């Protein structure tokens, strides 16, 4: 299905032949994917290619029908969001899921508040939130006690990402983090994505934007109609090839076999 790849060490997260159907419609057809620590893997694909379903399968929101999910080389069963969180997989969804009426610290610790007896331990949470943001070299927030409603799009994205990192997470999945951002804010978020990988996280980065892909990614994985067309180091492909993989499922010697492509398109 996919082309043979050079060995690059153990992937922290690996999918093998993952399938998923919703009723009669099969959305994922035996998808393989490897995500490595310290690397940014761009997950690309056209609308309806199955990107969202794939990340929801990893996050445990949709249980997979077939195939295997391996974490640090061991098969794991992910049947709910708590399972993936326990493994250290954090997902930052496109809608960010921040509560506008709470401040940055409160959002970052939402659902996992630190307590001292019955009381919330605000001081410790504020200090940790600031530490995490500082580690990610976030410099654009005036105060961690600002309400999220007063933040710009890029700042919100930053907070959502920092929230994911706060929990000793090993794999961070970002769903189109730059989709609605302007130039300067996209820049900030891309820097942050790069820094996430540089601090040892495995980053799976979903995007439509080719500039973003070539700017920050180490690997690129292209989905085509629910099949993994290619999962290769970025150095092996150029932009036209990635676009071809997204739109046609194959490019040169990469991608789904021609016969299969034809079968899919019928």
Q: Tokens in use for 229? A: 């067309």
CB-neighbour burial class of residue 265 (10 A; exposed 0-12, middle 13-18, buried 19+) = exposed
138 lies in the binding site for another protein (CB under 8 A): yes
Pairing of strands 227-233, 219-224: antiparallel
150 binds another protein (CB under 8 A): yes
Q: How far apart are CA 178 and CA 163, in angstroms?
A: 17
Residue 141 binds to another protein (criterion: CB under 8 A):
yes
The single residue listed with the structure tokens 């990635």 is 242
Number of residues that bind another protein (CB under 8 A): 59
**Taking CB under 8 A as the rule, does residue 215 contact another protein?**
yes
Taking the complex as a whole, the smallest distance from the CB of residue 190 to another protein amounts, in Å, to 7
Least separation in angstroms between residue 216's CB and another protein is 7
For another protein, which is the closer residue by CB, 103 or 226?
103
| Residue 139 binding another protein, by CB under 8 A | yes
Region 107-126 residues binding another protein, contact defined as CB under 8 A: 107, 110-113, 115, 118-120, 123, 126
Give the C-alpha distances (Å, rounded to integers) separating 11 from 36, 186, 243. 4, 28, 25
Assess contact for 105 and 51: CB atoms under 8 A. no
Contact between 218 and another protein by CB under 8 A: the answer reads yes
Cα–Cα distance for residue pair 233/8, rounded to 1 Å: 10
> Which stretch of DSSP H or E encloses residue 55?
helix 51-59
| Contacts with another protein, residue ranges (CB under 8 A) | 81-82, 85, 93, 95-102, 106-107, 110-113, 115, 118-120, 123, 126-127, 130, 133-134, 137-147, 149-150, 152, 154, 184-185, 187-188, 190-191, 194-195, 198, 214-218, 234-235
């Amino acid at each position: 299905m996919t082309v043979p790849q050079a060995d690059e060490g153990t992937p922290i997260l690996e999918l093998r032949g993952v399938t998923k159907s919703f009723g009669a419609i099969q959305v994922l057809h035996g998808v393989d994917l490897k995500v490595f620590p310290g690397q940014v893997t761009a997950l690309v694909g056209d609308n309806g290619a199955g990107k969202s379903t794939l990340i929801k399968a990893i996050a445990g929101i949709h249980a997979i029908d077939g195939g295997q999910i391996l974490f640090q080389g061991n098969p794991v069963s992910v049947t709910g969001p708590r399972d993936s969180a326990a493994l250290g997989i954090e997902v930052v969804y496109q809608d960010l899921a921040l509560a506008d009426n709470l401040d940055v610290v409160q959002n970052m610790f939402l659902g996992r508040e630190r307590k001292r007896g019955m009381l919330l331990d605000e001081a410790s949470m504020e200090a940790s939130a600031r530490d995490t943001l500082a580690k990610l070299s976030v410099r654009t927030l005036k105060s961690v006690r600002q309400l999220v409603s007063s933040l710009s799009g890029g700042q919100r994205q930053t907070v959502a990402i920092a929230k994911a990192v706060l929990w000793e997470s090993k794999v961070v999945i970002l769903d189109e983090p730059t989709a609605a951002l302007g130039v300067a804010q996209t820049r900030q978020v891309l820097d942050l994505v790069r820094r996430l990988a540089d601090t040892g996280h495995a980053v799976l980065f979903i995007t439509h934007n080719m500039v973003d892909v070539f700017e920050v990614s180490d690997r690129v994985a292209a989905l085509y109609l629910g099949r993994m067309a290619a999962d290769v180091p970025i150095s092996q492909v150029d932009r036209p090839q990635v676009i071809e993989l997204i739109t046609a499922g194959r490019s040169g010697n990469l991608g789904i076999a021609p016969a299969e492509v034809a079968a899919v398109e019928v």
